[in-house]
């Protein structure tokens, strides 16, 4: 135990001295969170909209006001000339144009009026989102207008977005970023740290010492376990303070599951370190060979259900998919352990397999 | 005098390549045993077996009274090891290195403190003790590495080309440290490329093609091969090598 402690102290000193790695270890989560939180957002906020108002009556004015009040839109310009529309889209100054026909009010009261929405679909995703938001604004307006004449609204669709009524993208990316950061740091840093000792030749010295080889490897991983856990806390804190991420389930459960996932990534890093002998190779394997599938198959960016069947099958062996699922279940749905037993068992089994393979490879290497 | 290393027909095969071919020798306690051979002659493999890093294919070997097959843990506790490739952890200070290596050999806090202060004053390190190892010259690193390797008072210290890349004066100083250690009863098992260093050894073995081609004191070897220096002895033997 004393030996183990001496080793862990030395590992911490290594990490502490290596300021660049330390910056990556603690800075990366913060930067990723900020980038995903503020720069990359699938929500469409303050979309600029051009209104061509042929009616110019009270009703059209009220509709325009509604758009202005919505946090999703800003009325960029109001005009009566349809010819200017292409110009605005070409310059990219608006995303959406709304055309209100003349006689808007009277038509609406009689047989119904035709509003036209024109969207810039060079980015199909945001065009879709903007038009659906606009439709929602118009629908609200219509409901208010016909308050006393419900006869016009025979079918009233009421959509409820469960767990995330405001469709906040942070509900998706906070678990996603957490998964990726853990995977990246846990795997790469551990692999590189051990391979570094191989490159320097210091591993030999450790192996001739009375320390058990497996203890050497485990104690190399301990500091990264601590750092990754600090990263989890850091991400959760930022998500809670800055990005309004809810924490609906049990925090201790979340931390325990995170610990399990960190151990999974660390043991994978250890496995990589037994297979390669240079730091570049270790980094290459963890980044290209692992981060890419981890990203694609986590379900964070691309829904797994939309993938062709063979890829769906492959996704099952990618640990990030399961951790992402666990995080979403606990944080967003607020469910308890009984709902995540399956992914937990899968992660645990993966960890055991990684560790067994590491042990086997390590012994072979010593012969 | 007791024998701290005994090998008998020690053999290591990698598939059909025989790296170490039935070597038999004995090393006395407190001796400086030179283990010479050209690159690829098998000396590193032999040394790895003796230091518990690798298992032999056949033959017998005892190190510090323990068997290399099933008492590897005991062997490791009783040996020190220093290689050319390794000096110390570059981004730890001298003191931190001492504490770490003392720590993994299970030295207690009190022992460790005493041993490290003694080491620091013996090598006249003073303020340098708190500097990062990477800021020190190579010769210093090697002296510190050696001192660290014998910090836990091992019976045998294995030195794998310990003086590679340093000037003759620093090499001489390094050997003073080895003499000091062996005078206290530690056995030194040294591989080297420098033939002048071979002259400093009590006994020298020369490996050729995995087997021991000669083993005796430097003086006896020189007269046996009718050579003026160890260099000449070595060349005569190495020339006969089939694998290079």
Please report, for chain A, the start and end positions of each structural domain, with discontinuous segments joined by +.
9-40+168-366, 47-152
Cα A249 to chain centroid distance, Å, stands at 18
Per CB-CB distance under 8 Å, the chain B contacts of A196 are none
Query: CA-nearest residue of chain A to B74?
Result: A210
Distance CA B70, CA B59 (A): 13
B73 and chain A in contact, CB less than 8 A: yes
Average pLDDT of span B50-73: 92
- For the residues B196-209, what does the mean pLDDT come to? 92
The reply to whether A10 touches chain B by the CB within 8 Å rule is yes
pLDDT in tens, A77-106: 898 888 888 998 888 888 899 999 888 888
Report the gap between the CA of A90 and the closest CA in chain B (Å): 58
Yes or no, beta carbons of A204 and B104 under 8 Å apart: no
List C-alpha distances in Å: B216 to A82, A232, B213, B219.
105, 63, 10, 8
Instruction: For residues A326 and B5, give the distance between their C-alpha atoms in angstroms, rounded to a whole number.
Output: 57
Mean per-residue pLDDT for A36-58? 80
Q: For testing the chain A interface, which of B79, B84, B104 should be mutated: the one with the most A CBs within 10 Å?
A: B104
Give the domain A47-152 fold. Answer: abc type-2 transporter like fold (3.40.1710)
Q: Which residue of B has its CA nearest to A215?
A: B104
Q: Which two tokens stand for residue A332?
A: 């967003």
Interchain CB contact of B14 with A (< 8 Å): no
Q: What integer is the mean pLDDT of A279-284?
A: 87
In this complex, is the C-beta atom of B81 within 8 Å of any C-beta atom belonging to chain A? yes
Q: How far does CA A232 lie from the centroid of its chain?
A: 14
Torsions phi, psi for A210 (to 5 deg): -70, -5
Q: Residue B118 above 50 pLDDT?
A: yes
> What share of chain B has pLDDT > 70, as a percent?
98
Which residue of chain B comes nearest to A4, CA vs CA? B104
Looking at chain A, which residue has its C-alpha nearest residue B108?
A2
What burial class does residue A150 get, using C-beta atoms within 10 Å of its C-beta: 0-12 exposed, 13-18 middle, 19+ buried? exposed
Please tell me if residue B89 touches chain A, with a CB cutoff of 8 Å: yes
Averaged over A156-171, what is the pLDDT? 77
Are B99 and A200 inside 8 Å of each other by CB? Answer: no
- Could you give the dihedral angle defined by the CA atoms of residues B9, B12, B13 and B18, in that order, rounded to the nearest 10 degrees? -60
Q: Which of A5, A17, A211 sits opposite B91 (nearest CB)?
A: A17
pLDDT in tens, A287-337: 887 788 888 888 887 888 888 898 888 889 999 999 999 999 999 999 999
Residues from chain A that touch B76, judged by Cβ atoms under 8 A, are 208-210
pLDDT, tens only, A105-143 = 888 777 778 889 999 888 887 888 888 888 888 888 887
Mean confidence (pLDDT) of chain B: 90
Q: How far is B72 from chain A (nearest CA, A)?
A: 9
Looking at the predicted structure, is the pLDDT value of residue A147 above 70? no
Pick from A3, A19, A204 the residue to mutate for testing the B interface (most B CBs within 10 Å): A204
Q: Does B165 touch chain A (CB under 8 A)?
A: no
So what's the pLDDT on residue A114? 85
Kindly report, residue by residue over A340-363, the tens digit of the pLDDT: 999 999 999 999 999 999 888 876
Instruction: Give the pLDDT band of residue A367 (cuts 50, 70, 90).
Output: very low
Task: For A6, name the nearest residue in chain B, comparing CA atoms only.
Answer: B103
């Amino acid at each position: 135990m004393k030996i183990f402690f001496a080793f862990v102290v030395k590992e911490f000193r290594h990490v502490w001295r290596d300021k660049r790695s330390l910056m990556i270890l603690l800075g990366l989560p913060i930067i990723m969170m900020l980038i995903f939180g503020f720069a990359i957002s699938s929500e469409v906020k303050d979309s600029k909209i051009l209104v061509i108002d042929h009616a110019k009556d009270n009703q059209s004015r009220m509709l325009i006001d509604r758009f202005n009040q919505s946090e999703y839109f800003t009325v960029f310009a109001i005009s009566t000339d349809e010819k200017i529309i292409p110009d605005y889209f070409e310059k990219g100054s608006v995303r959406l144009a709304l055309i209100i026909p003349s006689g808007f009010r009277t038509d609406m009261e009689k047989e119904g009026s035709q509003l036209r929405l024109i969207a810039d679909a060079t980015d199909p995703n945001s065009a879709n989102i903007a038009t659906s938001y606009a439709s929602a604004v118009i629908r609200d307006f219509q409901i208010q207008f016909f308050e006393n004449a419900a006869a016009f609204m025979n079918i009233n669709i009421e959509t409820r977005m469960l767990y995330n009524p405001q469709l906040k993208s942070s509900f998706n990316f906070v678990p996603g970023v957490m998964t990726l950061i853990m995977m990246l740091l846990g795997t790469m840093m551990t692999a590189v740290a051990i391979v570094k000792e191989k490159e320097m030749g210091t591993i030999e010295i450790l192996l001739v010492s009375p320390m058990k080889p497996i203890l050497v490897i485990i104690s190399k991983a301990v500091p990264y376990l601590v750092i990754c856990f600090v990263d989890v806390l850091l991400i959760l804190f930022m998500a809670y303070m800055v990005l309004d991420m809810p924490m609906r389930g049990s925090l201790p459960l979340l931390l325990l599951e995170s610990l399990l996932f960190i151990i999974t990534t660390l043991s994978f890093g250890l496995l990589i370190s037994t297979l390669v002998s240079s730091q570049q190779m270790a980094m290459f394997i963890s980044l290209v060979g692992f981060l890419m599938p981890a990203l694609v198959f986590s379900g964070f960016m691309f829904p797994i259900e939309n993938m062709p069947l063979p890829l769906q099958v492959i996704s099952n062996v990618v640990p990030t998919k399961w951790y992402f699922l666990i995080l979403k279940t606990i944080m967003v749905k607020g469910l308890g352990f009984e709902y995540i037993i399956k992914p937990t068992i899968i992660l645990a089994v993966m960890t055991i397999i990684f560790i067994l393979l590491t042990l086997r490879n390590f012994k072979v290497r010593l012969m | 005098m007791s024998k701290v290393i005994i090998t008998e027909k020690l053999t290591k095969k990698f598939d059909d390549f025989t790296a170490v071919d039935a070597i038999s020798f004995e090393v006395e306690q407190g001796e400086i045993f030179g283990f010479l051979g050209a690159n690829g002659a098998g000396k590193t493999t032999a040394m790895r077996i003796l230091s518990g890093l690798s298992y032999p294919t056949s033959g017998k070997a005892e190190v510090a009274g323990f068997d290399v097959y099933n008492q590897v843990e005991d062997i490791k506790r009783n040996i020190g090891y220093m290689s050319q490739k390794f000096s110390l952890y570059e981004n730890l200070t001298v003191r931190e290195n001492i504490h770490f290596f003392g720590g993994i050999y299970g030295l207690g806090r009190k022992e460790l403190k005493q041993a490290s202060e003694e080491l620091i004053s013996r090598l006249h390190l003073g303020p340098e003790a708190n500097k990062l190892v990477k800021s020190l010259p190579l010769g210093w690193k090697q002296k510190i590495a050696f001192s660290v390797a014998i910090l836990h008072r091992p019976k045998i210290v294995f030195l794998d080309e310990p003086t590679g890349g340093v000037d003759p004066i620093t090499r001489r100083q390094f050997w003073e440290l080895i003499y000091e250690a062996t005078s206290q009863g530690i056995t030194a098992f040294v591989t080297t490329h420098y033939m002048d260093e071979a002259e400093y050894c009590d006994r020298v073995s020369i490996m050729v093609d995995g087997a021991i081609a000669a083993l005796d004191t430097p003086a006896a070897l020189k007269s046996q091969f009718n050579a003026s220096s160890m260099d000449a002895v070595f060349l005569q033997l190495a020339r006969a090598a089939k694998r290079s």
